[in-house]
Amino acid sequence: MNSFSDQPLIVDCTGMRCPLPILHFRKAARAAEFGKSLLLLSDDPNTHRDFAAFCHAAGHVLVAVEEQAGRWQFLVQPGCAAETGGE
């Protein structure tokens, strides 16, 4: 059973074009509670390529990627203290 706190923080960037989804995700990851997963939503087709590269470079774990009807969902576990604001 999942508790509410286990639910990912949703970063809805629908309608935004790169690099805005990455910038909004980065801001949300820094503000998020340590260990909190984030779910990025985007309908920009370039986000798939760009966001995966960003996660790799920043040390985030891209847990799952799903595309439905042109809308991408990226489930991410932030992993880099410098990106998340952690110690």
Residues taking part in catalysis: 18
Check whether the bond before 8 is cis (ω within 30° of 0). no
Phi, psi of 74 (to 5 degrees): -125, 115
Start-end of H helices in the chain: 20-31, 47-58, 81-84
Cα separation, 51 vs 54, in Å, equals 5
